[in-house]
Structure formats: structure tokens, C-alpha cells
Structure 1
Amino acid sequence: MCIAVFLWQAHPLYPFFLLHNRDEHRSRPTEPVAWWDNGEILGGRDGLAGGTWLACSRNGKIAFVTNVREVGNVAEPKSRGELPVRFLESKKNPADFAKEVVMEAHRYNGFNLILVDLSSKSMIYVTNRSKDGDVLVSEVPPGIHVLSTASLDTPWPKAVRLRSNFEKFLEKHGGSELPAEEMANKLMTDTTKADKTKLSGIYSVDFEHSLSSIFVEANTEQGRYGTRSISAISVQISGEVAFYEKYLKEESWIEHTASYMVEQTGTG
């Protein structure tokens, strides 16, 4: 379970601005945000399957994935975390990579995938759990969007709350510089839970209630579960990217930021 709010091509200083929470079992091996072996991909890494929930590349690509809240699983599914990695490693633009994903989407459990190419100002949303049952590929329009474990911009209570609080920050700062770390630490640590009557009804009421806050802390049969990392990615019109992460290591929260300039290489 994850949640993200992002601003796309709708701010005078930031072509892209993202706040993101990754929720996962505490026992799942995880590596914090870092440059990967080839020095081209920056992101966190799942220590079990090797993929990522959120990462970016030096050539101006960004990708992140969430699961979809559902009952039942695909037999022997492929890891959803490999999708962002494959996009970042490929030479394909978001639309072309989305076509590749469509052909094999049935092999994954439910996912939402955001593909970004800053150079071409292109953002594509892909999900294999659309309302009509088909794989949905759509271009994301400029503006503010929220993605949780339902379709993009589904107005679940936590998504509505996050969007509203995000908009208040934007109104406060207008067209000036946004305090990414402050926003991440204020907006993404919200533990307010939804009214039980407004839950989706996919899981049990008690379990869904424990997941209904932006920042999640829950106990499950598999052990402790909840928000393990809080991230902010800001991309300035100059091409400077700042990737801030606050992650949980044992019982301590550790903060760090990595920055770089987008290489203007274009995509094919």
C-alpha cells in the first residue's frame, strides 16, 4: 500500500513535484534511496524481489508503482517493482513502454504505474485494474493528482485529505519555491483515519480502517506493517532534481537527500 500526491506541469518553478509514502511489512528487506550499480538510476530497492517502488534516472525519467487493493492474486505473479526499473533502463518513451506493459499486464497482480519523461513533457498512467476490466493507458493532464491503491484520482478519504492539504501549501507559497522536506514531513505523516462508514469495503472494516490514514501503522498476521519511507522529488525548470527520503531503519528514522542535473539526451 502506498500513496502519492504530485504536481505535473502546473507550477512556474517545478515541472514535476512529488510527495510519496511507501507502506510495507517491517520485515521485508529494503535498501534506502541510492544510486544503483550503473550510476544511472536513483531510487530505493526492494531487497526481496530487487525492484523499486519509486526511482528516477539521470536522463529525466521518473517512475513509481502502487498495488491495487483487491482480494485474490494472480498465480505465480511477476514482481510489480520491476516495472519502474525496466522503464528507466529502457530507451522507450512513456507511451511506447506502456504498450509493452499492456501485452503482459495479466501476469501481474493489480498495479498502478506512473511513467514520466521530463524531456518530452510526457506522463502516462497504466493500470491493469480499470473499471471495465481492460488494461487502461492514459496520458496524465497537467495539474494535481493523487494516487493510492485505487485508480488515479479516486476520491478515497485519505486521497481527498492529502490533495486538500497539498493545495493549501501551494496557495500559501504561490509561485515561489516549495519547501519539499517540510511538506513531506507535515503532509505525509498524517495519521488521521477515515470514518468507518466511508471505507471501500474490499477488506474487513477494521483492517481498512487501519490503512485509511496517509501515514499507516498496523498489525497484521504477518507482523507489523506500515509506512517505511517518506519521499519528496522536486524537479526545477533548470533541470535540477532533488530526491529527499526519510526512511525507517529498525526503530529510527533517517533522512538524506540526493541531487543531480538532468542530462539532456532525449528519448526514443
Structure 2
Amino acid sequence: MCLLAIGWLHHPHWRLVMAGNRDEFHARPTAALAPWQDETSVIGGRDLRSGGGWAGVGAGGRMAVVTNVRDPQASQTGPSRGALVADYLRGRDPAGTHIERLARISAAYAPFNLLLADGHSLEYLGNHPAERQTLGPGVHGMSNGAIDAPWPKTRRLMDALSSWLAADADALDPLWQALADEHRPADSDLPDTGIGLERERWLSPAFIRGDDYGTRASTVVLIDADGHGEIHERRFGPQGVATGQSLVAF
């Protein structure tokens, strides 16, 4: 993922609601949302180059989502960040236990933000800089900076999710509209991540269009108190052309 908002213990029915976009090179081979063939308890899209994932759910209503941290000066070597999602969803350890173990080896990975949830807690781990938090009830947001960093597109998605949660609505249309948002903020509101103003502008909307790189998938996850729920995915090709959609109930 490159942008997400997550509502935790903040809705009368859904324990967790996550809405996010995955931005990636269009040439990178990817499998659509489905149960994984080698571990059918894991449901999500899949990166066919590394075998990992960017967002998904597992047994008992577990959820994992990862974003990269944007820093052109940082090393991009190390194990696949997609494995951070896959390893948790395949396992059975509580989110807090898993995060504790990962924190000891997180420096080996390229910069990342990781959110893990189970039936009891929502845990955050970042390695650039090193930070760990147990997140409280409410709405949280994350892009390619720190957790809850006030980037304009993160704030807009968090606001949209907060409104949807407060409305206690069934239709997901407001979340899809927020994920498709192409609003570009004023230059003065943009973060400075070291990539130059033109690229900051291009990457500033929630939904990014491009020939080689852009938003590849929008995902919405809904999990109730019993660990049941739904995961939805809408997929896109170059220049944001829709290529398909999927829904898996669990």
C-alpha cells in the first residue's frame, strides 16, 4: 500500500475498517484478490515477483498492511517487505508478539510501515525511523511517511473514512470515491521527501495515474467482532483504466 486509512474499534458493527490504495509499477506481475493457493486461509492480492502481499486478511480476522517509506537516500536492499504481510497472515501469533519479534530484525528491511491487527489489538511498526505503537480506538492514516503524518491525501482519506463510520452506512461508495480522489493540494501543503517538487505534485493525489507507475489496486477490508467480514478489491492498469474487481467474504 501507499495510502490507507483505518478505523479501529470505531464503528457499531465493524471492529476494523481499512481503505487503501496500492501504487506500483504496472509491469510488476500481480495476482488479483483471492485466497492464496499455498495457504488458503490468507486472502489478498499477491506480488508474483516476491511472493508476498501488501494487504490481506488471515484466519480469525487477522489483518496486515504495509507501506514503503519514501526516502531516496535510504537503502532499498533487504528482504521483501511483502513478506512482512505474508508471514504474519500465515502464522498464529498475536499481533503484539509478532511485532515484538519483527522489531528486533526490522533494520534489515528497506524502509517500511507495518500495521498488524488481530481480535485484540492494532499494532504499528516502522523502521525508518524505528518506532512501535499499539494504536488506540479511532481513525488512523498512513502513506509513505510516519503513522498519522498529516499529508494532505492522508488527511482527506481519514476524513472520508471518519464520515463513513459516523454515518453507519452499508454502501461503500463514499470510500471508493475517496480512494479515487485525484485532488492535488497546494504546493505549500506538500511534504518534502527529497524527490523534488514535480514528483511530489504527481504523487500527491490519493489516486495516481501514469503510463508506467500508478495506482494498481484499491482495497476495502471490513472485519466484525467475531472475525468475519469482507475484503474488496478494484484493479487498474496504466492511466487508471479499470481492469477488474473482486470480493471475498470470510
* Same-fold status (TM-score > 0.5): yes
Runs of 5+ consecutive residues of structure 2 not aligned to the other structure: none
Shift of 1:238: 4.8
| CA distance, structure 1, for counterparts of residue 230 and residue 76 of structure 2 | 38
The corresponding residue for 1:7 is: 7
The corresponding residue for 1:46 is: 47
The corresponding residue for 2:186 is: 195
Does 2:146 align with 1:145? no
Does 2:208 align with 1:209? no
Shift of 1:144: 0.6
| CA distance, structure 2, for counterparts of residue 128 and residue 52 of structure 1 | 18
The one-letter code matched in structure 2 to 1:148 is S
Cα contact 1:74–1:107 (8 A) shared by 2: no
Any idea what SS the aligned residue of 1:40 has?
A: strand
The corresponding residue for 2:100 is: 99
Cα contact 1:17–1:232 (8 A) shared by 2: yes
Cα contact 1:67–1:110 (8 A) shared by 2: yes
Any idea what SS the aligned residue of 2:40 has?
A: coil
The corresponding residue for 2:78 is: 77
The corresponding residue for 1:265 is: none
| CA distance, structure 2, for counterparts of residue 122 and residue 55 of structure 1 | 16
Any idea what SS the aligned residue of 1:179 has?
A: coil
Which structure is larger by alpha-carbon Rg, 1 or 2?
A: 1
Shift of 1:45: 0.5
User: Residues 3-52 of structure 1, C-alpha deviation per residue, up to 9 Å, x if partnerless?
Assistant: 01111011111111111100001111111111012211001110111110
Cα contact 2:161–2:175 (8 A) shared by 1: no
> For 1:13-24, what aligned pairs fall within 5 Å after superposition?
13-24=13-24
The corresponding residue for 1:36 is: 36
The corresponding residue for 2:126 is: 127
The corresponding residue for 2:247 is: 257
| CA distance, structure 2, for counterparts of residue 45 and residue 158 of structure 1 | 25
Cα contact 1:210–1:216 (8 A) shared by 2: yes
Match among 142, 156, 161 for residue 156 of structure 2: 161
| CA distance, structure 2, for counterparts of residue 35 and residue 170 of structure 1 | 27
Any idea what SS the aligned residue of 1:217 has?
A: coil
1:236–1:102 Cα change, 3 Å: closer
| CA distance, structure 2, for counterparts of residue 164 and residue 177 of structure 1 | 15
Residue identity over aligned pairs, in percent, reads: 27
User: Considering only aligned residues, what root-mean-square deviation do their CA atoms show, in Å?
Assistant: 1.7
| CA distance, structure 2, for counterparts of residue 9 and residue 210 of structure 1 | 34
May I ask how many residue pairs the two structures share in their alignment?
A: 246
| CA distance, structure 2, for counterparts of residue 228 and residue 45 of structure 1 | 12
User: Residues 64-89 of structure 1, C-alpha deviation per residue, up to 9 Å, x if partnerless?
Assistant: 00000112343631111100111112
The corresponding residue for 1:263 is: none
Question: What TM-score do the two structures reach when normalised by structure 2?
Answer: 0.93
Shift of 1:92: 1.4
| CA distance, structure 1, for counterparts of residue 11 and residue 165 of structure 2 | 9
Any idea what SS the aligned residue of 2:98 has?
A: helix
Cα contact 1:24–1:226 (8 A) shared by 2: yes
| CA distance, structure 2, for counterparts of residue 59 and residue 198 of structure 1 | 40
| CA distance, structure 1, for counterparts of residue 25 and residue 76 of structure 2 | 21
Shift of 1:218: 3.6
| CA distance, structure 2, for counterparts of residue 92 and residue 165 of structure 1 | 32
The one-letter code matched in structure 2 to 1:147 is M
Shift of 1:192: 0.4
| CA distance, structure 2, for counterparts of residue 62 and residue 239 of structure 1 | 10
Cα contact 2:7–2:161 (8 A) shared by 1: no
User: Residues 113-134 of structure 1, C-alpha deviation per residue, up to 9 Å, x if partnerless?
Assistant: 001002xx2110000013xxxx
Any idea what SS the aligned residue of 2:201 has?
A: helix
| CA distance, structure 1, for counterparts of residue 232 and residue 76 of structure 2 | 36
Any idea what SS the aligned residue of 2:217 has?
A: strand
User: Residues 91-125 of structure 1, C-alpha deviation per residue, up to 9 Å, x if partnerless?
Assistant: 2111111121112111111100001002xx21100
Cα contact 1:211–1:218 (8 A) shared by 2: no
Shift of 1:162: 1.5
